[in-house]
Amino acid sequence: MEILDALNDAIIDAASGWWTLLGLFAFCVVDGFLPIVPSDSLVVGLGSLSSEPGTPLLIWVVLVAMAGALLGDIIAYRIGRAIGTERFRWMRRPAPRRTLLWARHELDKRGVLVIFVGRFIPGGRVAINFVAGATRYSFRRFLIIDSVASLTWAAYSVGVGRVGATVFDSVVIAMTVSVLGAVVLGWVFERIFRLLSGWLDRKGVHIDPQG
């Protein structure tokens, strides 16, 4: 019990530093074009700490996460626009190729939906935004959709963490359960979207991404 209390205090102290929001912004930016930084987990974790003294207010966590996510997605879009999907050999390997072809297929048929939902799919959102740039998807339309998606994602992630904090008294347990729950929900979102996409394909329902 003493170890758990010590961990609780250490986490709260770390989250109370001046660098917390700056670090959150940086993580969200990098995660937008290089999906090795778990920004989702960080946002959820800070959401679970929101009631602790000295930690950032929920509204600041949401706004900073949104701004970082949006900038990261724009960078992915700009990289795609600059280099395309054929320039490097790794892009032609089976796994990356399948992901890029999937993203292109979805953008061609339902651009608005895939850009919005893609923000909730770690890894998948990078491919979607990258291909959006490579295929010259309207940047203005992309920016509008992704702004709404980033705000929704940030609020949702903080909300998941906040729910965990109301259920569990321990900061460590609340953060752990909240982060694991967010990972599971992300997987569920991806599966639901792929099932919905397949169903729309079978029904012949296409949404013009530029229309």
Asked if the model's pLDDT at residue 8 lies above 70, the reply is no
User: Which pLDDT score, from 0 to 100, does residue 203 have?
Assistant: 61
Q: Using alpha carbons only, give the angle 129, 138, 61 rounded to the nearest 5 degrees.
A: 50
Choose from 3-12, 45-54, 116-125, 185-194 the range with maximum mean pLDDT.
Answer: 116-125
Q: Using alpha carbons only, give the angle 134, 138, 144 rounded to the nearest 5 degrees.
A: 120
Asked if the model's pLDDT at residue 16 lies above 70, the reply is no
d(CA 68, CA 19): 15
Position of tokens 């919905």?
196
User: Which pLDDT score, from 0 to 100, does residue 38 have?
Assistant: 73
For 73, the token pair is 């997605």
Which pTM value belongs to this model? 0.81
d(CA 117, CA 129): 11
Exposure on the CB side of residue 186, measured as CA atoms within 13 A: 22
Residue 204 CB neighbour total at 10 angstroms: 7
User: Which pLDDT score, from 0 to 100, does residue 211 have?
Assistant: 44
Choose from 27-41, 99-113, 150-164, 184-198 the range with maximum mean pLDDT.
Answer: 150-164
For 146, the token pair is 């992704």
Q: How many residues does the structure list for the chain?
A: 211
For 21, the token pair is 């929001």
Q: How far is CA 149 from the centre of its chain?
A: 9
d(CA 149, CA 155): 10
User: SS3 for 207?
Assistant: strand
- H or E element, residue 54: none
Question: Which amino acid belongs to residue 42?
Answer: L
Residue 46: band (very low, low, confident or very high) from pLDDT cuts 50, 70, 90: confident
Position of tokens 């890894």?
123
* 89-127 per-position pLDDT tens digit: 666 667 667 767 777 777 877 778 889 988 988 777 888
